[in-house]
Amino acid sequence: VQLPLDVEAFVPGSELKRGSNEFKNHYHEGDELELRVIRFDKDQKDIVLSETAKEEAEREEEEREEERERREEEEEREEAVRDFQEEQEPEEPTTGPTTLGELSGLADLRQEMEEEERREAAQDTEESSADEATDADQEAADEAAESSDAEEETATDDAAEETPEDETAFDETAGFPENFPRVSRLESAGVDTLAELREVRQQSDLTELDGIGSAYAEDISEALDEFDETGSVSS
Q: Where are the domains of the chain?
A: 1-89, 129-230
**Strand (E) or helix (H) holding 88:** helix 51-88
Query: pTM for the whole thing?
Result: 0.29
pLDDT of residue 164: 47
Residues 6+ apart with CB under 8 A from 147: 201, 221
pLDDT of residue 67: 93
Computed on alpha carbons and rounded to an integer, the radius of gyration of the chain in Å comes to 46
Q: Is the pLDDT score of 82 beyond 90? A: no
| Long-range CB pairs of 212-216, under 8 A, 24+ apart, other chains included | 212/182, 212/185, 212/186, 213/107, 213/108, 213/109, 213/111, 213/112, 213/115, 214/108, 214/112, 215/111, 215/112, 215/115, 215/116, 215/119, 216/111, 216/115, 216/182, 216/185
Q: How far is CA 4 from CA 9, 42, 48, 207, 225, in A?
A: 10, 16, 15, 93, 109
Q: Is the pLDDT score of 173 beyond 70? A: yes
234 and 226 in contact (C-beta within 8 Å)? yes
Mean pLDDT, to the nearest integer, of 152-173?
62
Give 68's pLDDT tier (boundaries 50, 70, 90). very high
**Strand (E) or helix (H) holding 41:** strand 36-41
Mean pLDDT, to the nearest integer, of 85-98?
65
- What percent of the chain stands above pLDDT 90? 5
Q: Is the pLDDT score of 189 beyond 90? A: no
Q: Is the pLDDT score of 171 beyond 50? A: yes
d(CA 212, CA 201): 12
pLDDT of residue 12: 80
